[in-house]
Structure 1
Amino acid sequence: MIRLLLVDDQELFLQGLSMILESQDGLEVVGTALDGAQAVERVRELQPDVVLMDIRMPVLDGVAATAAIRRTSAEPPHIIVLTTIRHDRAVVDALRAGASGFLLKDARPEFLVQSIRAVVDGQQVIAPAETFDLLRAFAPVRPAPDTSVLEPLTDRERELFALAARGLSNADIAQQLWVAETTVKTHMRAILAKLGVASRVQLIALAYEHRLIEA
């Protein structure tokens, strides 16, 4: 059972979203919050697996709430940012703060459910092309490639990093390298930990901003 916390300052939206998700097998809405400050408290109390986080809210916005949850939780949940604007600078800030991806609020219910399951399985929930579009628009990029950030990685981990940074899934990487998917998952956990990033989306951002890949 995947435990969900829903965060949005519009109660009607929360109610509708909760009804959709509660109707799905394997998903349980354990709580809601109307602003980022409440979200931080609810995460501490309820320990959800996934937080669906609105960006623009009173008291504490979604970016600051994401950073606070990542900073204060021993085992932080996956955070999926919800937005009404595809090219929103705040989304980039949220990804850099530790969100696992973003979805538009008008996403189809079935896509939302698939995205929740995917992020729990360690996958990204936005397409690489959309990630690159956001980074190109808002994120700073170094004038020349900087490979020093990869120094903690082994040669094999660098190989996997390059493939993951292009947006390949664990299954795609396993097929390309002729290894088991479980082996890829083990390597990916080590890579994320060594680089100090919370998700594959952050890994893509790091690779792009250090000119290790081209969009």
Structure 2
Amino acid sequence: MIKILLVDDHAVVRMGLKMLLDHHADMEVVGEASEGNEGIEKAHELKPNVVVMDLSMPHGKDGLSATSELKKQMPEIAILILTMHDDEEYLFRAIQAGASGCILKSAPHEELIQAIKSVSNGDAYLHPSATKRLMEEYLSSTREEDGDLIHLLSDREREVLTLIAKGYSNKEIGEKLAISVKTVETHKGNIMEKLHMKTRPELVAFALKKGLLGHFL
């Protein structure tokens, strides 16, 4: 049984959620609160598995502040943020506050049920559009970081990196580029230092990401 605490400043919203969730045999709404401070008190009293927390509550403590405080006091509780804001700023702030997930108030009922089950099991849950934006943000930052790093490599080091990624041994790379094995090893060491990497798989992944395997065939 998943014990759920609802924290939302709208009584009608809480009533609708309670009716929906209590309809599921493996879920039980054990309490309600209308603002963050009351939610924290009820969480200590009722020991729910999941707190469904409204993000915007104008009276009392807001959802982000309550989430941050509650996670410090009761880290075992999963908090699912319920919000009408489809905005990445709120999403990032909710995650930073310690929320296990974030779902839009406009989401289908089935999605809310799945989200509660996911965070109850210790998993994270983000609504689909949020997941897409997080991925885009991550890939964007990764591209920027990689772009900065690859410019640190000399032309020769890029050649060596490409051949390493293609599976050539140090000896084969030396023969292919007409340099000594020792020079290859020196280049490889410099590459790892510049890219902050320690293993061949990391170098291969970087080369793939940068599209280097299409060169020096």
The answer to whether the superposition gives a TM-score over 0.5 is yes
Q: Which residue of the partner structure matches residue 63 of structure 1?
A: 64
Q: In the alignment, what sits opposite 2:157?
A: none
Whether 1:87 aligns to 2:101 is no
Q: Which residue of 1 aligns with 2:11?
A: 11
The answer on 1:77 being equivalent to 2:77 is yes
Q: Is the 8 A contact 1:69 1:76 kept in 2?
A: no
Tell me if the contact between 2:36 and 2:65 (Cα under 8 Å) persists in the aligned partners.
yes
2:104 corresponds to 1:104 = yes
The 3 A distance-change label for structure 1 pair 68 and 127 is same
Root mean square deviation of aligned Cα: 2.6
Equivalent residues of 2:103, 2:127 under 8 A apart: no
Aligned counterparts of 1:62 and 1:90: Cα–Cα separation in 2: 11
How much does 1:135 deviate? Answer: 8.0
Q: Which has the larger radius of gyration?
A: 2
* Matched letter for residue 53 of structure 2: M
Q: What is the TM-score normalised by the length of structure 2?
A: 0.59
Higher helix share: 2
Match of 1:184 in 2: none
Higher relative contact order (CA 8 A, sep 6+): 1
Q: 1:133: which partner in 2?
A: 133
Instruction: State the match for 1:156 in structure 2.
Output: none
Partner Cα separation in structure 2 for residue 59 and residue 127 of structure 1: 27
Report the secondary structure of 2:87's partner residue.
Answer: coil
Post-superposition offset of 1:91:
2.7
Aligned to 1:43: 43
State the one-letter code of the partner of 1:27. M
Paired with 2:136 and 2:33, the residues of 1 have a C-alpha distance of: 32
Using the TM superposition, give the Cα deviation of residue 26 of structure 1 relative to its aligned residue in structure 2, in angstroms.
0.7
Structure 1 residue 96: deviation in Å? 0.7
* Residue 136 of structure 1, CA deviation: 6.2
Deviations 1:70-108 (A, max 9, x none): 1112x4310010111211522321111110111111211
- Of stretches 122-131 and 104-113 in structure 1, the one that deviates more from structure 2 is 122-131
TM-score by length of 1: 0.60
Q: Which one-letter code corresponds to 1:67 in the other structure? A: S
User: Once the 2 structures are TM-superposed, how far is the Cα of residue 122 of structure 1 from its aligned partner?
Assistant: 2.4
In the alignment, structure 1 segments of 5+ residues that lack a partner are 146-213
Paired residues of 1:3 and 1:29 also in contact (CA < 8 A)? yes
Q: Is the 8 A contact 2:5 2:30 kept in 1?
A: yes
1:106-163, Cα deviation, whole Å (9 max, x unpaired): 21112211111122222221157623515867xxx69747xxxxxxxxxxxxxxxxxx
